[in-house]
């Protein structure tokens, strides 16, 4: 049985929501970190996660679409304050909040796929941030829920060993691949600002978090 730290081509393709052929093409071009064990390709979980985050955060990459209007994808009622130390409890609470949005048509599928994605590969990106994300055919349009935790969430398997305190959950329609990636990139880049992260974690009400994330005065 493979270690949790080693992934197959099928697992990487499922995580990235691309075909196995696409992963093979990336391997042949040397675009994705991979190595052979015997005659089969294998991938280190940590290296794939770092590769994904680098691609999302690299300002040299051409923009996929314009930056998402926060007012369209997020509202104050989808910002929740949490007090769980367990990743599962946090993701369950955020899924419950996000599922109240009209864009989400299958609450159980959302939770199942969010958990499956994070079990395959942690969505923590460092700096106390996690961005759990899925594309589903049962979602009609991209929508976001934000969790601010008053407690360190210690089991997200972060790259920098900093416990997660801020969670951005993104659900998109299966056809929204470019918009979905751009939204991931937008939040990842915006939250590089340590003062902004600190202000969000110390906020006392959803409207304040909404204002900070949207850049409203």
- The predicted-structure confidence for 196-211, as pLDDT tens digits, reads as follows 999 999 999 999 999 9
Q: Is residue 116 part of a domain?
A: yes
Q: Is residue 64 part of a domain?
A: no
Q: For residues 188 and 116, state if they share a domain.
A: yes
CB burial string 78-102: b at 16+ within 10 A, e below: bbbebebeebeebbebbbebbbebe
Q: For residues 100 and 196, state if they share a domain.
A: yes
208-217 average pLDDT score: 83
Q: What is the pLDDT of residue 56?
A: 65
**Domain tally for the chain?**
2
* Rg from Cα positions in the chain: 17
Give the domain CATH number at 101: 3.40.930.10
Q: Is residue 141 part of a domain?
A: yes
Q: For residues 83 and 147, state if they share a domain.
A: yes
Q: For residues 80 and 171, state if they share a domain.
A: yes
Instruction: Give the integer Cα–Cα distance in Å for 39 and 2.
Output: 15
Q: For residues 184 and 81, state if they share a domain.
A: yes
Q: What is the pLDDT of residue 34?
A: 87
Q: For residues 128 and 190, state if they share a domain.
A: yes
19-41 average pLDDT score: 81
Q: For residues 53 and 74, state if they share a domain.
A: no
Tell me how far apart the terminal alpha carbons of the chain are, to the nearest angstrom.
Answer: 53
Its domain, for residue 43, covers: 6-57
Q: For residues 75 and 20, state if they share a domain.
A: no
**Each residue's pLDDT tens digit, 100-125:** 999 999 999 999 999 988 887 788 88
Q: For residues 131 and 171, state if they share a domain.
A: yes
Q: Is the pTM of this model over 0.85?
A: no
Q: Is residue 65 part of a domain?
A: no
Q: Is residue 27 part of a domain?
A: yes
Q: For residues 111 and 210, state if they share a domain.
A: yes
Q: Is the pLDDT of residue 89 over 90?
A: yes
Give the domain CATH number at 49: 1.10.10
Q: What is the pLDDT of residue 216?
A: 61
């Amino acid at each position: 049985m493979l270690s949790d730290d080693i992934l197959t081509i099928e697992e990487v393709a499922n995580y990235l929501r691309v075909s196995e052929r696409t992963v093979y093409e990336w391997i042949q071009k040397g675009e994705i970190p991979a190595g052979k064990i015997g005659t089969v390709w294998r991938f280190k979980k940590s290296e794939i996660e770092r590769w994904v985050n680098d691609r999302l955060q690299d300002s040299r990459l051409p923009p996929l679409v314009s930056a998402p209007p926060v007012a369209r994808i997020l509202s104050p009622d989808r910002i929740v304050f949490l007090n769980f130390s367990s990743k599962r409890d946090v993701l369950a609470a955020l899924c419950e909040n996000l599922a109240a949005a009209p864009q989400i048509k299958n609450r159980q599928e959302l939770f199942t796929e969010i958990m499956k994605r994070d079990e395959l590969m942690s969505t923590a990106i460092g700096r106390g941030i996690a961005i759990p994300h899925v594309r589903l055919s049962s979602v009609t349009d991209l929508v976001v829920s934000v969790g601010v935790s008053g407690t360190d969430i210690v089991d997200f398997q972060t790259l920098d060993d900093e416990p997660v305190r801020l969670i951005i959950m993104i659900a998109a329609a299966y056809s929204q691949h470019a918009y979905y990636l751009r939204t991931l990139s937008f939040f990842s880049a915006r939250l590089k600002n340590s003062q902004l992260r600190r202000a969000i974690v110390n906020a006392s009400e959803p409207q304040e978090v909404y204002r900070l994330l949207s850049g409203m005065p």
